[in-house]
A = this chain, B = another copy of it.
Amino acid sequence: MNHDSNDTQKVKLTGDEVAKHNSRESCWVIVQGRAYDVTEFLPEHPGGPKIILKYAGKDATEEFEPIHPPDTLDKYLDKSKHLGEVDMNTVKQEKKEEDPDEQERQERIRRMPILEQCYNLMDFEAVARKVMKKTAWAYYSSGADDEITLRENHNAFHKIWFRPRILQDVEHIDTSATMLGTKVDMPYYVTATALGKLGHPEGEVVLTRGAKKHNVIQMIPTLASCSFDEIIDAAEGDQVQWLQLYVNKNRDITKRIVEHAEKRGCKGLFITVDAPQLGRREKDMRSKFDDVGSNVQSSSGSEVDRSQGAARAISSFIDPALSWKDIPWFLSITKMPILLKGVQCVEDVIRAVEAGVHGVVLSNHGGRQLDFARSGIEVLAEVMPVLRERGWQDRIEIYIDGGVRRATDIIKALCLGAKGVGIGRPFLYAMSAYGLPGVDRAMQLLKDEMEMNMRLIGCSKISELNPTLIDTRGLGMHTAPVPRDTLGYNVYDPLIGPKEKSKL
């Protein structure tokens, strides 16, 4: 953050002075020891004025930090409103209520399993669920509507089975792959996920360091908690990063972002196309009310807090009018390869090829946007035969994300024809539970699984993976069983095994 603005200031502001500006008419807030006048900004705040007014005249750092990159105030608030340093000794400490939920969480943190007890990516999620703050967990883990797609994403991999080959020499396994021209050690990348500081105080740079260590690519999110430059700066040597882009209604801003990314060395531009509006995620929305709201009386219709969780708060700038017509413009402003992230049927993949982009990510945004969107792996199985029939399979790079938890999931995607897969939440959970060592171990586990399973399927390098190694007959059947025969089940007397002797 740029601290220069009012640094001619000699005398620090006092807590009392700030505290007077505690209303819609004059609203000051303290962030990281400095005061800001946000009165005029209130109506423009993407998350609504209410959440700011809660901190009017007070220190808002704790609420502010995880969901705003540090350069936010410099970027969006005129320098004249930066009021300078505050003498924090004079700021009244809010006495926090004793929160029994929080006390239980602290107890769970004390009893956390040690890192070596995590043997797979699900284990990090199990730990994170117990040790993360409830609202942070709700933001990361929630999906759209009934969270059917959220769960289907991993489920769908369970419909694909292997047809391994035996007696192949698999002494030396090479899991390296090439993505958009970059050689990586494993055929996955760390995909973009928002608000990393909700899970870990350092945010996305932890993932940057993990990706470096395992030589995989990180995709930088538009909605990171860290600033773009912080994440770029955290990269070392020739480490490759990509940029995920939400397109702003103001194309000038978008152009600036893209040009800056290219200048800073990003090697791929992933335009998110499945989020003209950010999703309704009820677990996220509900997590607020269930904390504080359930003892209050229903407010009248007009005064209702229309807060809808973190997702809505941070996304109002996204342009819902973005369309195929914009693609040539993107191609004109950058030399980075351009990929569309969130393609969901074969028709749009064909259109993408025709539009001249360099790749697509078959994705449903981690099940966070449209419920009953199909999983990326299922769409992949729809797409590849059509591309092959046209001889187009090499005109474009196809990636998928969503639900990848095991090396076998990666192998299945590659057998079908993907160049690689994106993995998001599992690394967030590993980071939230154990920091960088967690991310490191998660990546190491994937590597161990990958080598083992390449051996067992009978392939020593990525290029040998092909469709004859899998059985996809189960894929694409969206079976919902006939509703349970309640009365019938109630009266059935289940078989039991041998009975123990009674207590001796």
Interface residue tally of chain A, by bracket?
35 or more
Most buried by B among A456, A473, A500: A456
Q: Residue of B at shortest CB range from A468?
A: B347
* B478 and A158 within 8 A (CB): yes
Answer yes or no: A208 CB below 8 A from chain B CBs: no
User: A115 — nearest CB in chain B belongs to which residue?
Assistant: B298
Q: Is A9 an interface residue (CB 8 A)?
A: no
Tell me if A169 is interfacial: C-beta within 8 Å of chain B. Answer: yes
Does A234 belong to the interface (CB within 8 Å)?
Answer: no
Q: A374-B163, A477-B477 are in contact. Are A323 and B495 (CB under 8 A)?
A: no
Q: Are A500 and B111 in touch, CB under 8 angstroms?
A: yes
Q: Which residue of B lies closest to A375 (CB)?
A: B161
A324 at the binding interface (Cβ < 8 Å): yes
The residue on B at minimum CB distance from A501 is B111
Q: Which residues of B contact A476 (CB under 8 A)?
A: 471, 473
**Majority secondary structure of chain A interface residues (helix, strand, loop or mixed):** loop
Contacts of A340 in B (CB 8 A): 166-167
**A301-335 at interface with B (beta carbon < 8 Å):** 301, 304-305, 319-324, 326-327
A152 CB within 8 Å of chain B: yes
- Taking A164-B345, A277-B456, A477-B474 as contacts, is the C-beta distance between A282 and B120 under 8 angstroms? yes
B372 touches A408 (CB 8 A): yes
User: Beyond A114-B296, A483-B148, is A342–B477 a contact (Cβ under 8 Å)?
Assistant: no
A491 to B151, CA, bound (A): 11
Q: What's the least CB distance linking A459 to chain B, in Å? A: 11
| Contact in complex: A474, B483 (CB < 8 Å) | no
A495-B283 contact, Cβ under 8 Å, with A155-B483, A161-B374, A481-B480: yes
Q: Are B137 and A493 in contact (CB under 8 A)?
A: yes
**Which listed residue, B371, B408, B480, B487, touches A408 by the CB 8 Å rule?**
B371
Task: Name, among A276, A374, A496, the residue most crowded by chain B CB atoms within 10 Å (CB to CB).
Answer: A276
Decide: A293 and B117 in contact? CB cutoff 8 A: yes
In the assembled complex, which residues on chain B have CB atoms less than 8 Å from the CB atom of A298? 114-116, 437
Q: For the complex, what is the distance from the CA of A276 to the CA of B451, rounded to whole Å?
A: 11
Question: Are B485 and A482 within 8 A (Cβ)?
Answer: no
* Bound CA span A285–B495, Å: 12
Residues of chain A having any CB pair with chain B under 8 Å? 108, 110-120, 122-123, 125-127, 129-130, 137, 141, 145-148, 150-152, 154-156, 158-171, 273-277, 279-280, 282-283, 285-286, 289-290, 293-299, 301, 304-305, 319-324, 326-327, 340, 342-345, 347-348, 369-374, 405-406, 408, 437, 440, 448-449, 451-453, 455-457, 468, 471, 473-474, 476-483, 485-488, 490-504
17 A-B residue pairings within 8 Å (CB atoms): A113-B294, A117-B286, A117-B294, A117-B498, A119-B280, A122-B497, A125-B491, A151-B483, A166-B342, A171-B321, A279-B452, A283-B493, A294-B501, A371-B408, A374-B471, A477-B479, A479-B480
